[in-house]
Amino acid sequence: MNKKFFTSLPFFLIVMVLVVLAFGNYFPLVFKQFALSVSLLCKELIIFVLPFIIFSFVVSGLMEFQSDSFKLVAILIPLVCLSNFTGLWVSYIASSPVLNNSILSISQLNPDKILTPSFEFHLPSIIKNDYALLGAILLVFFNNFIKSQKLIMFSKIMNKFANFILKKVICPILPVFVLGFIIKMQYEGTLSLIIKEYSLVLLLIVIITYGYMATVMVLLCKNFKSALVKMKNLLPSVLIGGSSMSSAAAIPTTIVASEKNLEDKKIARFVVPASANMHLLGDCFAIPILACALIISFGHRYPTPLEYLAFSLRGVLAKFAAAGIPGGSAIIFAPVLIDTFGFSSEMVTAFTTLYLIFDPIATSTNVFGHGMFALLFEKVYNLVSKKFSKLNNKE
């Protein structure tokens, strides 16, 4: 296994969970309350800066496409949205019979005692995440008309600053953010139950995710043998992504694999890096399945199709603000889960902790999804090009 795994956030969290499970009963109550207070403070900080991060990432991400061919971009963005939206709904449809009908038993978390913080501090909310997202989209749309190079440069500066905040501020405090809530779950008797039962949820995620993507690969290749060869070509990238917990680290090998899988190598070199951050298909399965399982665990009603539609639409937009750090998708999706499913602080923390622990699996599925999407993009691009050629010939 990659040596980076043993210094990574997921490994650190696994160790932290095991330590709290083994020795949590010996921690003084004053320490537990203080740790929870610090975690709540970290949460306030993350929520405070999140609108700026979303705005910066969406603006800079969409601005990059303005210099590329209009036809490529006109196909890429709608296809990314469609693929993410489809993945979110396949995960809901495939997992609902298992989770909602108790085929996979998820116990309700009803703690007998509650850990309260020793102090609380609240930061003001300057702007809602929805407004930040909408403002970013409108700004990019406006710049399509005025073609301001200064605005493009400003978006790049904002992106660098947002990345600095994520990597130098939020990422380092994530373990502290999670620790207090892990201690709270251990104190209230819910931590061991979550760890025991969510290994089965992880297995469900792996089966549904890879089952869906392998099916799409077979349909795109029109025969199983060809699909198997293309999946084999993607295997090194999947292993790199899973062991490094970084889909960005796997981009070079994904490009090489896609060049083998596609007829046009230029498309592979464009579509893989262009869609790597916003087409995270594995997350379209891991995030909603984990969220729905937690909804059951905390004794809430399973989401209706209409409620899930609101979640999926906002989730598709949230993908454009994906952060390239461990657990970045969990951070970006937290306000979506709060607003659409009514997640509490405890539910958000349980979700973030589980997602971070499962991050190697989620990343490996994201990388596989990049290779699958490159194939899909080439098929659609060739189809659109042929139709444009026929129209031009008629004229």
Domain assignment of residue 97, given as a range = 3-394
Distance separating alpha carbons of residues 53 and 349, to the nearest angstrom: 20
- Which whole-number Å values give the CA distances from 35 to 117, 180, 184, 354, in the listed order? 8, 5, 9, 19
Structure tokens at 214: 């392998």
Cα of first residue to Cα of last residue in the chain, in angstroms, is 59
In the DSSP assignment, the letter for residue 246 is -
Q: Looking at residue 107, what is its pLDDT? A: 59
> Do the Cβ atoms of 110 and 307 come closer than 8 Å?
no
Structure tokens at 361: 């699996």
Q: What is the CATH number of the domain that holds 373?
A: 1.10.3860
Tens of pLDDT along 35-60?
989 988 887 887 788 788 778 876 77
In the DSSP assignment, the letter for residue 189 is T
Distance separating alpha carbons of residues 323 and 133, to the nearest angstrom: 14
Q: Tell me the pLDDT band of 71, cut-offs 50, 70 and 90.
A: low
Domain count, the chain: 1
> Do the Cβ atoms of 331 and 165 come closer than 8 Å?
no
Among the listed residues 288, 264, 286, 249, the one whose alpha carbon sits nearest the alpha carbon of residue 370: 249
Distance separating alpha carbons of residues 210 and 215, to the nearest angstrom: 8
> Do the Cβ atoms of 177 and 43 come closer than 8 Å?
yes
Tens of pLDDT along 344-384?
877 888 888 788 777 778 888 888 999 999 999 888 888 88
Q: What burial letters (b/e) apply to 354-380, b meaning 16+ CB within 10 Å? A: bbbbbbbbbbbbbbbbbbbbbbbbbee
Span 253-280, average pLDDT: 80
Q: What is the 3-state secondary structure (H, E, C) of 337-391?
A: HHHHHCCCHHHHHHHHHHHHHCHHHHHHHHHHHHHHHHHHHHHHHHHHHHHHHHH
Q: Looking at the predicted structure, is the pLDDT value of residue 111 above 60?
A: yes
Q: Looking at the predicted structure, is the pLDDT value of residue 166 above 80?
A: no
Q: Looking at residue 215, what is its pLDDT? A: 92
Taken in order 317, 320, 325, 326, the sign of the CA dihedral is positive
Distance separating alpha carbons of residues 297 and 273, to the nearest angstrom: 38
Q: List the single range of 244-248, 267-271, 307-311, 383-387 with lowest mean pLDDT.
A: 244-248
Which residue in this structure is represented by tokens 């740790």?
Answer: 35
Distance separating alpha carbons of residues 318 and 332, to the nearest angstrom: 7
